[in-house]
Chain A
Amino acid sequence: MTAVAVPMGAEATEPPERRGLARDGVRLMAVRPGSLTHARFSDLPGLLEPGDLVVVNTSATLPARLTARRADGTDVPVHVSTTLDDGTWVVEVRRPGDDGPETGLEPGAALALPGGVRLVLRTGFPDPTRPGRLWRAAADPAVAVPAYLARHGEPVRYRHLRGPLALDDVQNVYATEPGSAENASAGRPFTDRLLVRLLARGVPVVPLVLHAGVSSPELHEPPAPERYRVPEVTARLVTATRAAGRRVVAVGTTVTRALETVTGEDGVTRPGAGWTDLVLGPDRPARAVTGLVTGLHEPEASHLLLLEAVAGRDLVERAYAAAAGTYLWHEFGDSMLFLP
């Protein structure tokens, strides 16, 4: 099975606040087997039922983009995707024009980073023998990465954006634990007030953490391994919500990836932490997640296959057909709510 082909629509080139909208003023398309309703994100509480559960990713975004100088003197962006347990970094070196990852690099290549840090590329990541967009790299001297990025970095951005971003632009209101290279942007439209209205509706909101790596949208590759943690209370409520016949609504593909990683074939969701390389698709449909809030992103296969693993191909096709031309794409654009 291949993913549906979707037409691109208009692009959101800046945060909705700069288009005169509140965060939760972006459009929200509610898609069910029997209906398709165009609404605003602030309408979300009324589209869910008491007893449904919303799961959010509370990973906070780091300013993970640095400017590095190559040996030939050229300045290029470097995106720090994550750090590994042994202290090495996983990075993507961008091309000088920032139109995609630099792929012609060799092991041992060195980059001069701000603050006198030297970064040496070691091996490919995740497969050390096949270097691609991501590299495992060592920093010298070793630095505490969150503090170093806070001092020298800026938010990762791609070329569809109109200009630089402030860190607040790429932070969700409930973000608490820095570690993501890119914002888990499905949660961006939530506001304090919207969260309170969900609680008052009888829809609990529970956290997990998945530190999202860089997406390298130009290459359409599946996501690399990412670090996650699903707390006991979240696992327990997910299992209980399913047992009660109510919906488990994941806010974004990062939440889906983490929840499905810790849900067994028995359908029970258990607490857990570690690295996940799970990729959902036709041969691994969703077990825990029965609803999904998501933005509209590059129509690359792995993203669509994840949507189809939760919502089914028919709903995904209908949603993208209805969105064509009228919904805004990318991390500051509009949203869809799949309720299969």
Chain B
Amino acid sequence: MTSTAVITGASRGLGLALATELSQRGWRLVVDARDAGRLDSAVAGLPRPDLVTAVAGDVADPAHRAALAAAAGDSLDLLVNNASALGPTPLPPLADLPPAALEDLLRTNTVAPLALVQAVLPALRRAGGTVVSLSSDAAVEPYPGWGGYGASKAALDLLTAVLAVEDPALRVVAVDPGDMATDMHAAADPGADPADLAAPGDVARALLRLLDGDLPGARVRVGDLEVAR
């Protein structure tokens, strides 16, 4: 039977790379992004667009999450919580982070992933599915400027770890993909040379190799895996 995955934030970066790899494998995909035009173009470029349901919207919107869950159907093998907000740029020190911006970050990066897990939980349980939530080294290291984003990802890490012990039938993992050449990285660190950063496609393949085997724990650094170039 065809496997099904939901991938959020799939029009660019790691989300698009994961969608490309899974589409290549013949998976049925449900993908989203806020920008409908960019999502539409991204889907048209996938290996099997005929197996893709693209739903434009914001993961912070409950109605949109319900639409994703409806599109996923009765049985879901993989949920990738990849869509993330970076917050205001240039990244401000916490002294200057507007509280409303922190609330937005938590809504998108912390609350939305859990709410999406809740929305698709019956389908995940039916398939013995996997939940992958994209985290960051900023969730564990106190980098100046990364307080809001890092806090939202640290909270996501903990939600993931607790889900893993509460629902042992599911495979639940938070993944720190390391620095990648993505639009988000460029927004956070405009000076970085993309050539020094991992390609999202390489990271996506390493991540899927990880998921093919037994998970080493509820939090994984892709940097600890072998990323084939």
Contacts and interface: CB of A to CB of B under 8 A. Distances in A.
Nearest to B37: A46
A194 interface: no
Interface in A288-331: 322, 326
A35 B40 contact: yes
A193 to B, nearest CB: 16
A45 B35 CA distance: 10
A46 B33 CA distance: 13
B53 interface: yes
B34 to A, nearest CB: 9
A45 B38 CA distance: 11
A97 interface: no
A35 B36 contact: no
A39 B49 contact: no
B37 A34 contact: no
A37 B37 CA distance: 9
Contacts of A28: 36
Interface residues of A, number: 17
Nearest to A34: B44
Please indicate which of the listed interface residues A38, A39, A45, A48 has the most CB atoms of chain B within 10 Å of its own CB: A38
A158 B52 CA distance: 37
B40 A37 contact: yes
Contact of B40 (A40, A45, A47, A322): A47
A47 B41 CA distance: 9
Contacts of A40: 36, 56-57
Contacts of B52: 35-36
B54 A37 contact: yes
A230 interface: no
A38 B70 contact: no
Contacts of B43: 34-37
Contacts of A157: none
Contacts of A45: 37
A37 B70 contact: no
A66 interface: no
Interface in B47-79: 49, 52-57, 67, 70-71
B37 A35 contact: no
A35 B54 CA distance: 8
A32 interface: yes
Nearest to A339: B40
B39 interface: yes
Given A32-B44, A326-B70, A46 B53 contact: no
Interface in A261-310: none
Contacts of A46: 35-38, 40
A30 interface: yes
Q: For A32, A43, A326, which residue has the most chain B Cβ atoms within 10 angstroms?
A: A43
A44 to B, nearest CB: 8
A39 B43 CA distance: 13
A32 B41 CA distance: 10
Contacts of B71: 38
A23 B110 CA distance: 31
B36 A47 contact: yes
Contacts of B40: 30, 32, 35, 37, 39, 46-47
B5 to A, nearest CB: 17
Interface in A21-74: 28, 30, 32, 34-40, 43, 45-48
Contact of B49 (A34, A38, A47, A326): A34
Contacts of A38: 53-56, 67, 71
Contacts of A35: 40, 43-44, 49, 52, 54
A322 B54 CA distance: 11
B56 A39 contact: yes
Contacts of A326: 67, 70
Nearest to B71: A38
Contacts of B55: 37-39
A34 B56 CA distance: 16
A320 to B, nearest CB: 15
A28 B67 CA distance: 13
A335 B134 CA distance: 34
Given A32-B44, A38-B67, A326-B70, A43 B53 contact: no
A237 B14 CA distance: 41
A27 to B, nearest CB: 9
**Across chains A and B, which 9 residue pairs bring their CB atoms closest together, nearest first?**
A46-B37, A43-B36, A39-B36, A39-B56, A37-B54, A34-B44, A35-B43, A35-B44, A37-B40
Interface of B: 35-40, 43-44, 49, 52-57, 67, 70-71
Given A37-B40, A38-B71, A322-B53, 9 more contacts: A28-B36, A30-B40, A34-B49, A35-B54, A36-B52, A38-B56, A39-B40, A40-B36, A47-B37
